Amino acid sequence: MFGLKFGGKSKKGIGIEITSEKVNLVQLRRKGQSSFKLVTYASVELPEGTVEEGRILDPVALGEIIRSLLAEKKVKLKKVATALPGRETVSRLIRLPAEIPDMELREMVLNQEASLYLPFPREDADVDYQKLGTALDDDGIERIEILMVATPKEVTDSYINVLEIAQLQVDIVEVSSFALIRALHNELARYSTIAEAVAIVDIEYEATEITVTVDGVPQFSRTFPIGTAQIQNAQLRAINLPPRRTTDMEMLGSMSVPVQSMDTVGLAGGGGSTPGDAAIMRVVGDLSDELRRSIDFYTSQSPGSDVVQLLIAGPGACIGQLNEFFSQRLGIAASAIDPIATMGITVDGEIPIQDRMSLSVVLGLGLREV
Q: How far is CA 144 from the centre of its chain?
A: 26
Three-state DSSP class for residue 268: coil
Assess contact for 122 and 111: CB atoms under 8 A.
yes
Q: How far is CA 50 from the centre of its chain?
A: 20
pLDDT at position 86 is: 86
Please state, in angstroms and rounded to a whole number, the distance separating the CA atoms of residues 280 and 97: 49
CA gyration radius for the chain? 21
pLDDT at position 369 is: 87
Three-state DSSP class for residue 311: strand
* All domains of the chain in start order, with CATH: 14-88+153-190+338-368 (3.30.420.40), 90-151 (3.30.1490.300), 224-336 (3.30.420)
Q: Which amino acid is at 287?
A: L
Please state, in angstroms and rounded to a whole number, the distance separating the CA atoms of residues 154 and 205: 23
Give mean pLDDT in consecutive 10-residue pieces for the chain, a chain of 370 residues.
41 90 94 86 94 93 97 95 90 90 92 90 92 82 90 94 96 92 92 82 95 91 94 93 85 86 45 82 96 95 88 95 96 96 91 91 93
Q: How far is CA 189 from the centre of its chain?
A: 18
**What pTM did the predictor assign?**
0.89
pLDDT at position 195 is: 67
What order do you get walking across the sheet with 36-45 strand by strand?
A: 169-175, 79-84, 14-18, 22-30, 36-45, 345-346
pLDDT at position 264 is: 47
Smallest Cα–Cα separation from 284: which of 247, 256, 314, 243?
Answer: 256
Q: Which of the 8 DSSP states describes residue 10?
A: -
Point out which residues pair with 82 in neighbouring strands. 16, 173
- Residue 117: is it exposed, middle or buried by C-beta count within 10 angstroms (0-12/13-18/19+)? middle
Assess contact for 313 and 180: CB atoms under 8 A.
yes
pLDDT at position 334 is: 97
Q: Which of the 8 DSSP states describes residue 196?
A: E
Point out which residues pair with 307 in neighbouring strands. 197
Q: How many Cα atoms are found within 13 Å in the side-chain-facing hemisphere of 270?
A: 13
| DSSP count for the chain of H helices, then E strands | 13, 16
pLDDT at position 215 is: 87
Smallest Cα–Cα separation from 318: which of 185, 244, 228?
Answer: 228
pLDDT at position 135 is: 81
Q: Among the residues of the chain, which ranges form H helices?
A: 59-72, 102-107, 114-117, 153-165, 176-183, 185-188, 228-238, 249-254, 275-301, 322-330, 339-342, 353-356, 360-368
Please state, in angstroms and rounded to a whole number, the distance separating the CA atoms of residues 109 and 129: 8
Q: Which amino acid is at 214?
A: V
Backbone angles phi, psi at 205, to 5 degrees: -65, -55
Q: Does residue 239 come out as left (phi exceeding 0), alpha (psi in the -120 to 50 range) or beta? A: alpha
| CB atoms near residue 318 (< 10 Å) | 25
First to last CA, the chain: 19
H or E, element range at 152: strand 142-152
What order do you get walking across the sheet with 217-224 strand by strand?
A: 217-224, 208-214, 196-203, 306-313, 333-336
